[in-house]
Amino acid sequence: MYRDSFTMTFPDDFLIGTANSAFQSEGAADRDGKSPSMMDHFARTHAGQFLPGIVKKGIRMTEEFPDDGCCFYDHFEEFIDDMKATGQNTYRLSLAWPRIIPDGTGAVNEQGLAFYDRVIDKLLACGIEPFVDLLHWDLPMALYERGGYASREFPDWFEQYAKVCFAHFKGRVRLWSTVNEPCVFITSGYADGRFPPFEKDLRKSLLAGQNVLLAHYRAVKLFRELDMGGKIGAVNAIIPVYPADFRPEDMDAARRQAQLRFDIWAEPMAYGHYPEQFFDECPMYKNAMPEGYAQELKDAFAPVDFLGINYYVTSRTADDPDAPARSKRVQTFYTQPGLKNDVYPAGLLDSLLYMRDHYPDVEVFVTENGLCTPNTGDEEEECNDDVRVSYLREHFRMLWRALQSGVNLGGYYYWNDADSYEQLSGYDQRFGLTWVDHKTFRRRWKKSRYYFQKVAQNHMVD
């Protein structure tokens, strides 16, 4: 593409916005008919496992439940006014299934739908395109008790829930995603034991994963049948996995690790099959798959319009014949000078180029990308977040390069809009562009939000 300067601008229709999820932002965890979700339950009963970071720091667990989030439920109008003032043209949110159908199946809670009506209508009135996730981890506890994701009934339950949401918001919501990061709520939850429900059962995790994919297909099919207009996809976390050394064995190990974390979800969503090469090289996984899995996927397949990728970290992986997937993470040495976190902006470009090459038929959105910094208790320090400004700038530059390189990229969502509840660290780590006092819910724009505003308003990065 011809360039006559170094100015980096984004196309007019490129979406630039922020994101958050229901259970992390809304609060009002037990109000107006909402029932407990898995996340509400496990944060209480397994706090030590769920929040290892803060347990280490000795913070009192009682203050670290997702009950309040950033109080979006009560203050959504002010949050959305801020989004409008930021100049963003989109916002990614999730709907809380336990707020809409408290028992998981059956009766609909009109108060729950009415809350999302107010949110979506306000977003539209402000010229902000809602991007709506059906499920961001907060499965109704009632369904967990009936077997949760591991139940063969899960696709039916999800389809019923999707139908309620699609019918209700048809014509107002044009961008839909079915699930967020199954590699976390399924693989880390059922195989690695690091996430609710903290199980270590490979066979069960693969069955639960298959059920989630079938549920996803059902929602996509329904979306087409109901002639919803707009687009539907799903969101996966991507980790660019680089080989630990120059050895071919490490290159294969890196590929397997990337397949295990990402392609095992993305390929079925885009093409209706798992990466079979992975199963062929890792019989431990193949042997634990449910009977007839490949044909079952093929028969149920419904392709997505887009895939969302959530990019935070990279990985370095070495061959290890004794490790699951014959690969083990050794180190991540791509860090940005001056930053404590594992931050590597070029990993976003690598991920987007990977999407261009491996998923050429599918549009991509960067559905999450963000930097967390510690809750220091010092408002001035937290609001003068130069580190987040440079984080944003460097990642925006990578988006521009990706567009120049022919990536079919529709938009970018910074995670997250405002300081909220965070998995593994409660309120101790903060990603927000808006600072939130978790006692009074007073809000204040951080320096990064003023910077984001310039990029969003000008559709350009400096």
Catalytic residues: 181, 368
Whichever of 259 and 310 has its CB closer to ligand IFM, that residue is: 310
Whole-number minimum distance, CB 195 to ligand IFM, in Å?
11
Nearer to ligand IFM, 24 or 314 (CB): 24
Query: If binding is defined by CB under 6 A, does position 21 make contact with ligand IFM?
Result: yes
CB closer to ligand IFM, 181 vs 281? 181
- Separation CA 90–CA 72 (nearest Å): 17
Counting contacts by CB under 6 A, is residue 428 touching ligand IFM?
A: no
Q: Rule CB under 6 A: say whether 422 interacts with ligand IFM.
A: yes
419 near ligand IFM, judged by CB under 6 A:
no
Q: Which is nearer to ligand IFM, 166 or 185 (CB)?
A: 185
Identified binder of ligand IFM from the candidate list 415, 435, 451, 452, rule CB under 6 A: 415
Report how many residues bind ligand IFM under the rule CB under 6 A: 8
Span of 54-62, 263-271, 339-347, 415-423 interacting with ligand IFM by CB under 6 A: 415-423
**Least distance (Å) between residue 415 CB and ligand IFM:** 6
Q: Segment 298-317, which members bind ligand IFM (CB under 6 A)?
A: 310
Provide, rounded to whole angstroms, the least separation between the CB of residue 194 and ligand IFM: 13
351 forms part of the interface with ligand IFM (CB under 6 A): no
- The residue among 293 and 415 lying less far from ligand IFM, judged by its C-beta, is 415
Nearer to ligand IFM, 257 or 423 (CB): 423
Using rule CB under 6 A, residue 181 touches ligand IFM: yes
* Interface pick for ligand IFM out of 368, 382, 419, 428 (rule CB under 6 A): 368
Min dist. Cβ of residue 453 to ligand IFM (A): 22
Cβ 80 to ligand IFM, closest distance in Å? 20
Q: Which residues bind ligand IFM (CB under 6 A)?
A: 21, 24, 181, 310, 368, 415, 422-423
